[in-house]
Structure 1
Amino acid sequence: MLAEHQASWLAELGLLPGDAVFSRGFVDHVTLDARRARGVYARLVRHEPVRALRLLVDFTGSEVELPLLLEEIRQAGLAPSLEQLLVDRKNYWDVISDDELQLQRQGTRVLGLSLDVQDLSRPHAGLELLDIALGDSEAARLETLDVQLLARGESSFDALLQTLERAGPRPTLRDWRLSFSSPSGKESIRWVQLGSLARLLSLYPVLQTLVLPMAELPTEHVEHSELRELSLHWLGLTPCGPSDLSQWKRAPVPKGSGLQLLRDARLPRLERLHVDFQYAWYIAWTPEDLAPLLDADGLPALRQLELHNCEFGDVLCRELVRMKHASQLEVLDLTGAILSDEGALVLLRHRDRFPQLRRLVCGPWGLSEALWAELRERYPIDS
C-alpha cells in the first residue's frame, strides 16, 4: 500500500517522497528543509501522529525562514504525539551539532524535557525550542528538565535563565540538570557563567535535585526549603586557562568565590552534597576554599558528602574532621582523593568525629599496607 499510495498521501500534507518515514500506516518521522516546512507543520500535526521532526537549515535561505517557521510551530502548538524536535545545521557547518528537544510523555502530558543546545546566545535555535515547549499547556506539570550544552569554552547562563523565567514558576518540577555533552567524543575545557543560582531556585519551589557542571558561582544568599541533592563541579571564578587539550598545564589563574555561597546557604533538607574537584590543575584549591563548606550552618540534614578527585587529600582529611556537620554524616565519599599515610592517620585519630558513618569511600593508593589495614578495621570502607 505504501509503494502504491505514499506519494499521494504525502502530497496531501505538502510533503515529497523521502521527507517522511511511515509507521503503522501513519507519518512518524519527518525531515524537511525549513523553507519547505512553512505552511506544512500545522497541517501535518493536525492529521498525523508525528513523533519526530527534523528541520534542515543551510546557507541558501532556510536560516532566514527558520524564525518564521518556529513562530508557526508556536502558534499551532506541539503535536500531542511529538517526542523529538531538531534544528539541523550540519548541511553547511559540520562542526555544529543538532539543537535537539526531546519530550518525555505520559499519554499526551509532558513530564520531562531534555534539550541539547549548541549555543545559548544563538537566536531562533535550541532555546526557542525550549521556550515553545515550556509554553505548551501539556507541559504545565513538568517534573524533570535536562539541558546539555554542546559549545566549547564559556557559556553564559543569562539567556537560559531568562527563558526559564519567561515561562514562569514550575510548582511540579523536581529534577533540574545542566551538563555538557560531546557528541563528537572530543573534549575541551568548558564552563558556565552562572549569574544567579538564587533566581533559578526560586522558580521551582519543590525542586529536590539540582545538578550543575563546571560553573562560575556568584556569592549570593541561597535558600530553598525542599532541595535534597546538590551536585557542583569546578567552582573557581573567572577561568582564564587554555581550551585546547594539548595546552592543558598548571598555571596561576585568578581565583574567585568558589564555595562561598554555601557558608550562608539555607538548605534545611539537603541530604546529599557532591563536589567534583577534577580540574584542580586549572583552579588551584587551598584549605581556605573549603572553609565555607566546613563552617556552613544551614545544612542540618546533610548525610552524604561526596568530594571527588581532590588532589590534596591529606589537607582535605585535616579539614573534614573539624566540619560542623561531621557528626551527622552517614556517607563520606572521597573517590579520586590522593591520600597518603598522613591523611589516613588524621582519619584514624578522629574516628569519633564520624559516629554515624556507615560508608567511607576511598582507595589504598598511596597508603602503606599497615595503615590501609587499620583504616579498614576502624571504618566501613568501600573502595
Structure 2
Amino acid sequence: MSNVEHLKELHGLPAFEFEPGSKRELPAADAVAWRIAVDAYGDSDVDFEERWDHFLETVDPAGVLAIVVGPWGEAYESDSGLVVDCLVKARERLTGLRAVFIGDLEMEEAEISWIQQSDVTPVLRAYPLLEEFGVRGGSELRFPAVRHERLRTLRLETGGLPGEVVRGVAGSELPALENLDIWLGVSEYGGDATVADLAPFLAGGGFPALRHLGLRNSEFQDEIAAAVAGAPVVAQLTSLDLSMGVLTDEGVVALLDGQPLTHLTKLDLHHNYLTEPIAERVRAALEPSGVEVDMSEPGDTWEHDGVVHRYTAVAE
C-alpha cells in the first residue's frame, strides 16, 4: 500500500482528528475537515457508533462541512456499512455537509485491498448538497448507478476496483461532476474492469462538466492510453492523469500519435516505465505549449525467466 497516506485536507479544509478527552481546543465546526476514527489496536474500548455520537453532541453538526472517516474498528473484518448508516441517520443534523471521505487508512492500519467497503451510494442519496465524495478500498465496494445534482468530485482509491463499480459510476447521472479520479488496481485484488467499461467516460457527454479525468494505477495502462488517444472527452478536459500504473513507451506513443493534448494544463504520468527518448518526446510535444508534465518516479522492473514484470504503484 505504498504512496497512500492519511488525508491532510478535504474540501480545502485541514484534517483535524476528533479525540474525546484531548486538551486541545476544538476549532469551529466549519473550520476543519473532522476525522472520526476508532483505533482497533488502541486501549479504548469505544466503538465507532459511540465515537460518532460523541462527535455529534460535541461539535455543532449543522456547521460541519467535511468529514473524513478513518478506521471504524477492524476495517479488514467489518465493512463500512456501519459508517454509511451513521451518516445517513445524521442527515437531518449535518445540514451543511459538503464533503465525505470513507476509509482514510494507512498501511499500518490496513492494506488498501483489505479495507472492507460496502454500498456507499446511500450517502449520496442522503446528502443532495454533497460536493465531494471519496472512498479508499475496493473490497466489497458497491456503487450502483445513482443521480446526484451537486457532486463535483468523485474519488475511488483502490488496489483492485471491481468492474461492476466502474459500470455503476459510468451509468450514473452526475451533471455537475468536474473531477473524476479512479484507481483501477490489479486483478489479483479484485480489479476486473476492462477498457470497455471505461468507454462511457471516454465518449464524453455523460459528464458534461468534467474537467479532470484520472484513470490510474492500472496494469493495463497502455490500453487506457491508447483508448484516451482518440477519446472525445479529452477535448473538454483541462487535466488528465494516467499515473501510477504500468505505462510503457507503447502507451505513450499511442497517446502522442492521437489527438492534440496541448490544450491541457497538466498531464500526469508519474510512476511509469518510459525510456528517456520517449520521455523527451513528451516534453518536446507538450511543454512548449505550457502543459505541465509529470513523469517522475519511474517504476522498477523485475525479470524472471526472461519475463519482465512491472507493477502498479498501489496493489495490496
User: For 1:185 and 1:200, how far apart are their aligned partners in 2?
Assistant: 24
Q: C-alpha separation between the residues in 2 aligned to 1:213 and 1:323?
A: 27
Q: Decide whether the 8 Å contact of 1:172 with 1:204 is kept in 2.
A: no
Q: Give deviations 1:247-276, integer Å, cap 9, x for gaps.
A: xxxxxxxx6513011222122222111112
Tell me the secondary structure at the aligned position of residue 130 of structure 1.
helix
Q: Structure 1: how far apart are the matches of 2:242 and 2:56?
A: 38
**2:171 corresponds to which letter in structure 1?**
D
Q: Distance in 2 between matches of 1:208 and 1:315?
A: 31
Q: Please tell me whether residue 128 in structure 1 is matched to residue 128 in structure 2.
A: no
Alignment-derived partner of residue 60 in structure 2:
138
* 1:160 aligned residue: 83
Task: Give the length in aligned residue pairs.
Answer: 265
The separation in 1 between residues aligned to 2:182 and 2:250, in whole angstroms, is 23
Q: 1:349 aligns with which of 254, 257, 271?
A: 257
Write out aligned runs for 1:8-23 (5 A): none
Root-mean-square deviation (CA, aligned residues, Å) is 3.3
Partner of 2:38: 117
Residues 378, 195 of structure 1: CA spacing in aligned structure 2 closer, same or farther, 3 A cutoff? same
Cα distance between partner residues in 2 of 1:111 and 1:284: 34
Query: In structure 2, what is the Cα distance between the partners aligned to 1:262 and 1:271?
Result: 14
Change beyond 3 A, Cα 1:289–1:224? same
Q: Which residue of 280, 283, 308 maps to 1:373? A: 280
Shift of 1:154: 4.3
CA–CA separation in structure 1 for the residues paired with 2:131 and 2:224: 28
Q: Are 1:234 and 1:279, in contact at CA under 8 Å, matched by a contact in 2? A: no
Tell me which of 168, 178, 182 is aligned to 1:261.
168
Trace 1:227-266 onto structure 2 (pairs within 5 A): 227-234=151-158, 257-266=164-173
Say which SS state the counterpart of residue 299 (structure 1) adopts.
Answer: coil
- Residue 171 of structure 1 is matched in structure 2 by 95
- Among 141, 149, 152, which residue is 1:225 paired with? 149
Structure 1 residues 359 and 280: alpha-carbon distance in aligned structure 2, compared to 1, 3 A threshold: farther
Tell me the residue number matched to 1:306.
214
Cα deviation, residue 172, structure 1: 1.0
Where in structure 2 are there 5+ consecutive unaligned residues?
1-17, 296-316
How far has the Cα of 1:219 moved from its partner?
Answer: 4.9
1:382 corresponds to 2:283: no
Letter in 1 for 2:274: L
Q: For 1:371, what is the secondary structure of its paired residue?
A: helix
Aligned partner letter, 2:35: S
Verify: 1:190 aligned to 2:114, yes or no: yes
Q: Is the 8 A contact 1:103 1:114 kept in 2?
A: no
Change (3 A) 1:104 1:294: farther
- Alignment of 1:206 onto 2:129: yes
Superposed displacement of residue 328, structure 1: 0.8
Residue 85 (structure 1) aligned with residue 20 (structure 2): yes
Give the whole-Å Cα distance in 2 for the aligned partners of 1:157 and 1:185.
15
Q: CA deviation at 1:308?
A: 2.6
1:343 and 1:113 map into 2 onto residues whose CA distance is: 40
CA distance in structure 2 between the partners assigned to 1:105 and 1:373 by the alignment: 48
Structure 1 residues 142 and 109: alpha-carbon distance in aligned structure 2, compared to 1, 3 A threshold: closer
Residue 256 to residue 341, structure 1, CA distance change in 2 (3 Å) = closer
Q: Is 1:271 aligned to 2:178, yes or no? A: yes
Q: Which amino acid aligns with 2:51?
A: L
- How far has the Cα of 1:279 moved from its partner? 4.4
Q: In structure 2, what is the Cα distance between the partners aligned to 1:84 and 1:297?
A: 44
Query: 1:128 and 1:114, CA in 2 relative to 1: closer, same or farther beyond 3 A?
Result: same
Deviations 1:229-250, CA, capped at 9 Å, x for gaps: 111022857xxxxxxxxxxxxx
Moved more, 329-338 or 369-378: 369-378
Deviations 1:325-382 (A, max 9, x none): 2211111122223222221221121133x46312111259533443322221222322
Which one has a bigger Cα radius of gyration? Answer: 1
Report if aligned partners of 1:226, 1:269 keep a CA contact under 8 Å in 2: yes
**Matched letter for residue 125 of structure 2:** S
SS in 2 for 1:351: coil
Return the alpha-carbon distance in structure 2 between the equivalents of residues 189 and 359 of structure 1: 29
Structure 1 residues 327 and 177: CA distance shift in structure 2, 3 A: same
**5+ unaligned residues in a row in structure 1: which ranges?**
1-82, 87-99, 238-254
Counterpart contact for 2:160–2:186, Cα < 8 Å? no
CA distance in 2 between partners of 1:236 and 1:336 (Å): 13
Aligned to 1:320: 228
TM-score of the pair, normalised by structure 2? 0.71
Q: Distance in 2 between matches of 1:189 and 1:236?
A: 7
Report if the CA contact (8 A) 1:330-1:358 is conserved: yes
2:95 corresponds to 1:151: no
